[in-house]
Amino acid sequence: MTDRRTEATPAGTDDEPDGPRAALYDWRGLINATLIIAGVLLAGFAVWKLSSVLLLILCAVMVAIVLDAAANAMTRPLGLPRWLGLAVAVTVAASAIVSAAVFAGPTLADQFGGVTGQATAGLQRLQDNLATLGLSTEGSDPDIGMKEVMPAPGGLLSSATKALTGLLGGLGSALVVAVVGIYFAASPDAYASGLVRFAPKGKRRTLRRLVTRTGDVLRRWLIGKGISMLIVGLLSYAGLIILGVPLALLLAVFAGLAAFVPFLGPVIGGLAMCLVALSESWQLALWTAGLYVIVQTVESYLLTPIIQQRTVYLLPGVVLTAQLVMGTLFGIMGVALATPLTAILMTVLDETYFRTGPASQDA
């Protein structure tokens, strides 16, 4: 009987579902795909709208990582309470900032005020050199005054208002970053555990390992980058003082801060040094360019390999592409944070794809 029933059954019944069920499955797949696409678009739109807040949170996380590393370095060898080490780290950092503002602030302000005079002198020297070579424009006034270079008084007032508003906004953002960073550093395990709870139970251990490794990579990268910036600033200041370049302290501080942004930052810092030196003479500008090459050789071939050896290797093309994309989307802040974001992304890919994902199975 069993054989007869089997023979009586149509050949295509088991392989081909009926029309209504097939249509139902097709509609479910379409709905799921639509919901996934809508979710991705909505998440991207939310990230774009909240980009400023998210970047500030990333800055706060980096501040917390530095404070946490400093607190652990002081408390673990001596067996002191962690809150005491964090308090000492915050006090030392605040004291350093206040001391720099009090002692170096007036000098930096005076030198910053001299930038306009140096730019005017450089413009006049360039015009004189062009006139000597016979390249000056016919009918142009050889004496360029500040009224031809500077904007109208109304434009100056508007620019000053915008600059003051931007300065106050930057100070407010820095204060928020510092406060949130201190809160993060006070109890990093609590915030990490709260983040891990958003993952399914089967993935929480993986996410915990990923968070721990990402924090370790960022901590080592920030410490190495901070040391690199300090060395670049000190070498630049010493070289500029020896060469007699004006505004040496301001240019050295700017070069050190610009070194935070790989590839683009050193170029901008070196260009600023060469332009100020050009206001004195072409020979001084050439010597300053040689100083820039020496400093960047030390930074690129000595300091950067040490940092990458202890953190994560980032291809130059990947970093430049990330800077271009982040700069286009989020401005100067995006350019500054493109490298740590790329380091985070590479760490996530290495942990979830190359080690335990499909790439590890193919290998």
pLDDT in tens, 351-362: 777 666 555 555
Average pLDDT over the chain, rounded to an integer: 76
> How far is Cα 325 from Cα 338, in angstroms, rounded to an integer?
9
Q: Quote the pLDDT of residue 291.
A: 92
Full-prediction pTM beyond 0.85? no
**Tell me, what amino acid is at 323?**
Q
Q: Quick one: which H or E segment has residue 67?
A: helix 51-78
**Could you write out the DSSP letters of every residue in 71-91?**
HHHHHHHHT--HHHHHHHHHH
Q: CB of 69 within 8 A of CB of 63?
A: no
Q: Quote the pLDDT of residue 105.
A: 64
Q: Where are the domains of the chain?
A: 53-92+108-131+161-355
Residue 19 in this model has a pLDDT that exceeds 60: no
157 vs 81, higher pLDDT: 81
Q: Quote the pLDDT of residue 171.
A: 80
Taking residues 1-28, report their average pLDDT.
Answer: 51
> How far is Cα 184 from Cα 195, in angstroms, rounded to an integer?
13
Taking residues 289-314, report their average pLDDT.
Answer: 81
Cα dist. 325→58, 159, 313 in Å?
17, 28, 20
pLDDT in tens, 190-200: 888 888 888 88
